[in-house]
Structure 1
């Protein structure tokens, strides 16, 4: 089981042991950066629990495994934000809860996966809490999230938590080279920019303009740090198109300044990466204390945009604060 999961051997070994020892928990929290394999692991866990082949659970070939893979098996329910909506509404959680009392269709478990669990509204989270406090014996909840801090502590405390660490460049390159679908140089550049996320690396490989766009934003942000106040407003305008764009770029900026922080403290970059010219430029421009203050500001911005706010105004405030930090 779990043979198709790239990396995360410690987590998959723990999950396999729980299945073998019949000590499966009623609730799990899978956390880690986007595109790292959390939802895939949740699906593979469901296959291993419900597979028809008990000699090789999670076989991937039986009718149950195939239905789970295509998200149409009756005992595995997956919910997330609906198309064009930024949050998971209380109505979606209530619908899921209304089905919990129905006994499993064929196996021993009813598995409920909440993808993007941090996007549940406060009302939705409170609605879920009672089901976690008083679970029926055959129900399993798996909350998949890139921002566990946005989930109520009372929910987190009732889940068995697994944090998915970024994969190394070596692991990701090996997987992409084995597929043979992309040129070696393109793979190396995408893997280097993906921060340990195979999903992000694949996204960059299939969308070459994204990497060019990110390089452009780093140049603009560098100009802002050098004192170009106009960049406050031009950057705020283009980054405030929608909440998804804002969140994606915030995650990228946080990861970027984290790498700069490693260089400032004399540490190597993660995944055995080599500093590029942009790294060196930021390294020369920033001081460690100021860089850490910028990271804190970006995390504050991330928390703020979880609510219904004026994105452009929040970006402007964020960039003004970053410029003040740099000016000292």
Structure 2
């Protein structure tokens, strides 16, 4: 039974939506912009549900027919665009699923809502076709575009839409959510929230991972001992990390959290400000032995490793370069 109350964070956006609903000042086009997992889909669903709710008081009532239809995925006037080509939303997709269909009046609700996930995949022809509908929509037509890349959308589309920029959610809110909704232990919720960088979906994914304990074990083994490893041990560590190729960004993010803890202790010595509280002794020891320059080099090497992997640099090479900087710094 999702509504605005079930959304974590994004209070300003929800306030804007609720006010627009109460004042009946609804736009015909919205853009939800933010990284994958930040809550774009959940917000679009909650807003659509509130728009179609028969109670009409600024949020969905969870009791009317439309709300029940939304909860079961059977609301006939809320449609998600689909596309056969994984990397592209074509002009035919837009014309057949939005432009042609919007001319038909709503089946049972006040609005017909069209949600385009991964809107950055629309090619230029598709965007131009959509633009015509955005410029002259019927009174009941609403389009929601969800994207992680605002620059991929044409300026003419941006100028005609209300844009919601989804900001990172506070760690303590994510921790509380994981503990309450998923039953995650507090220490695990703290780590998942920190590594998620404010993206709720990323925190949920990590907390739900069956490999979490193994992943954390290998990560901690490396960050605790890398400075004492011989070169052959570094190579062995790379081989072990290769088992987590598909989750390697998560591995690097967990390492990033560790070294930020080291930096925090070096600057403040405040144990309450760190994520890996159970590892205080190891962290403090590293903080004493590390220089600010060295820690900065390590953090930069972690960022460079992610960039190299994104650029399809050889996995072993990228990992070896990262671990050697961690060892030497």
TM-score, structure 1 normalization: 0.70
Q: Tell me, in whole angstroms, the C-alpha distance in 1 between the residues paired with 2:278 and 2:123.
A: 42
Hey, what does 2:39 align to over in structure 1? 37
Render the CA deviation track for 1:169-204: whole Å, top value 9, x for unaligned.
Answer: 2x345556656x74xxx5202210112555555555
* Aligned residues of 1:47 and 1:65 also touching (Cα < 8 A): yes
Hey, what does 2:54 align to over in structure 1? 52
Is 1:300 the counterpart of 2:298? The answer is no
Hey, what does 1:167 align to over in structure 2? 170
Render the CA deviation track for 1:194-243: whole Å, top value 9, x for unaligned.
Answer: 12555555555555641342232332355456554314641452122x4x
Hey, what does 1:111 align to over in structure 2? 114
Instruction: Determine helix, strand or coil for the equivalent of 2:50.
Output: helix
Instruction: Determine helix, strand or coil for the equivalent of 1:229.
Output: helix
Alpha-carbon RMSD: 4.1
* Aligned residues of 2:308 and 2:318 also touching (Cα < 8 A): yes
Instruction: Determine helix, strand or coil for the equivalent of 1:29.
Output: strand
Indicate how the Cα distance of structure 1 residues 217 and 295 shifts in structure 2: closer, same or farther if over 3 A, else same: closer
Indicate how the Cα distance of structure 1 residues 176 and 289 shifts in structure 2: closer, same or farther if over 3 A, else same: closer
Q: Tell me, in whole angstroms, the C-alpha distance in 2 between the residues paired with 1:226 and 1:79.
A: 54
Instruction: Determine helix, strand or coil for the equivalent of 1:3.
Output: helix
* Aligned residues of 2:4 and 2:14 also touching (Cα < 8 A): yes
Indicate how the Cα distance of structure 1 residues 280 and 47 shifts in structure 2: closer, same or farther if over 3 A, else same: farther
Render the CA deviation track for 1:290-313: whole Å, top value 9, x for unaligned.
Answer: 033124314414642xxxx5xxx6
Hey, what does 1:238 align to over in structure 2? 243
Hey, what does 2:4 align to over in structure 1? 2
1:1-328 paired onto structure 2 within 5 Å: 2-21=4-23, 22-24=25-27, 26-32=29-35, 34=37, 36-55=38-57, 57-78=59-80, 88-90=86-88, 94-101=92-99, 102-103=101-102, 105=106, 106-114=109-117, 120=121, 124-126=122-124, 128-131=126-129, 133-136=131-134, 137=137, 138-145=141-148, 148=149, 152=152, 154=154, 160-169=163-172, 171-172=173-174, 174-175=176-177, 182=183, 186-195=184-193, 196=198, 199=201, 202-203=204-205, 206-207=208-209, 209-220=211-222, 223-224=225-226, 226-227=228-229, 228-231=233-236, 233-240=238-245, 242=246, 245-254=247-256, 257=259, 262-263=264-265, 266=268, 273=275, 275-277=277-279, 279-280=283-284, 283=287, 284-285=289-290, 287-301=294-308, 303-304=310-311, 309=312, 314-326=314-326, 327=328
How many aligned positions are there?
Answer: 300
* Aligned residues of 2:226 and 2:323 also touching (Cα < 8 A): yes
Q: Tell me, in whole angstroms, the C-alpha distance in 1 between the residues paired with 2:306 and 2:164.
A: 22
Indicate how the Cα distance of structure 1 residues 81 and 272 shifts in structure 2: closer, same or farther if over 3 A, else same: farther
Q: Tell me, in whole angstroms, the C-alpha distance in 2 between the residues paired with 1:266 and 1:24.
A: 48
Larger Rg: 2
Instruction: Determine helix, strand or coil for the equivalent of 2:115.
Output: strand
Give the drift of 1:165.
1.9
* Aligned residues of 2:33 and 2:164 also touching (Cα < 8 A): yes
Q: Tell me, in whole angstroms, the C-alpha distance in 2 between the residues paired with 1:95 and 1:67.
A: 25
Render the CA deviation track for 1:245-290: whole Å, top value 9, x for unaligned.
Answer: 3454455455555555555554979987564426546645572320
